[in-house]
Amino acid sequence: MQLADLKWTDIDALSRKTPIVIPIAALEQHGRHMPLFTDSLLLGEVIRRVTERLKDRVLFTPLMWLGNSEHHIDFPGTMTAAPRAYLDVLKDMAENFLVHKFTRIVLVNGHGGNIVPAQQAMFEVRQKYRDRQGLALLSTTYWTLGAKPNEMDKSLVQTRMGHACEWETSMMLRLAPHLVGDYKAAKAVGQYARFEPANRGWITKDRTEPGHIGDPRTASAEKGELLFKLFADDVTNFLQRVIDWDGASEVG
């Protein structure tokens, strides 16, 4: 179900156990070869595939394209909410449904910079609504649900998501090749940040001059189709777990 297509009376008639999925992405620089709207386009396609399979069992809000992209702001065209403002917007969007006693809110994310704010937003909302029972306040990022694409296709060079990288460029070649520039001319940029596994506060220019992180040169539309399939499978299976939850048990 699409929130944007329905009337308030339709929403009022729904079971309060219906999962509300809020897709969150970004509008930010994606190197010299990829469009600014990459994260939103890719998450939109993952969600489109998931929607076809879950149909009326889940309510999808429109995709929130403004994200926490402050680390990319040195590159023109990037749009970002300040991190604290973004956190509050995520909380507000969840609360819009908690006011009406919905109990299962899922932020499905498609941008690395949103991961921490999404987790923190759900944490803070839970504290505020601590007297409610049976709440599932969840956030997840589509490429972190278990897929290991490089084990399915040995020609994939990267073992994890980068930025405007082999994975994202492949998916864009599958989805909107007319928006992809000369990815074969891009240089490989190392993905593994210094000081891992610790986290470092960083701006994008600390890590990359052209703006991408990873190796776009090996991208292909065929790889992109595999990635979309694996990620859509993962998100579908995850949302099915949310649907199936009995509303009480915390283990399993």
Supply the DSSP string of the chain, one letter for each residue.
-BGGGS-HHHHHTS-TTS-EEEEE--B--BTTTB-TTHHHHHHHHHHHHHHHHHGGGSEEPPPB-----GGGTTSTT-B---HHHHHHHHHHHHHHHHTTT--EEEEEE--GGGHHHHHHHHHHHHHHTTT-SS-EEEEEEGGGSS--HHHH-TT---SS--BSSHHHHHHHHHH-GGG---GGGPPPB--S-TTTTS-----GGGT-SSS-BB-GGG--HHHHHHHHHHHHHHHHHHHHHHHH--SS----
Shortest separation between residue 162's beta carbon and Zn ion, angstroms: 8
The two structure tokens encoding residue 119: 């987790």
Nearer to Zn ion, 38 or 80 (CB): 38
Cα-based distances in Å from 123 to 118, 128, 232, 249, 250: 9, 9, 26, 19, 16
Which residue lies nearest Zn ion, judged by its C-beta?
39
Nearer to Zn ion, 98 or 171 (CB): 171
Shortest separation between residue 235's beta carbon and Zn ion, angstroms: 16
Would you count residue 215 as binding Zn ion (CB under 5 A)?
Answer: no
Shortest separation between residue 39's beta carbon and Zn ion, angstroms: 4
Shortest separation between residue 133's beta carbon and Zn ion, angstroms: 37
Nearer to Zn ion, 76 or 252 (CB): 76
Find the part of the chain contacting Zn ion (CB under 5 A) among 30-38, 93-101, 182-190, 230-238: 30-38
Nearer to Zn ion, 38 or 78 (CB): 38
Shortest separation between residue 240's beta carbon and Zn ion, angstroms: 26
Nearer to Zn ion, 39 or 215 (CB): 39
Find the part of the chain contacting Zn ion (CB under 5 A) among 39-47, 90-98, 185-193, 201-209: 39-47
Shortest separation between residue 83's beta carbon and Zn ion, angstroms: 18
Find the part of the chain contacting Zn ion (CB under 5 A) among 35-43, 90-98, 127-135, 136-144: 35-43
Residue in 19, 23, 33, 39 binding Zn ion, rule: CB under 5 A:
39
Return d(Cα 178, Cα 30) in angstroms, integer.
15
C-alpha closest to that of 239 among 139, 152, 155:
139
Shortest separation between residue 120's beta carbon and Zn ion, angstroms: 21
Nearer to Zn ion, 78 or 236 (CB): 78
Binding site for Zn ion (CB under 5 A): 38-39
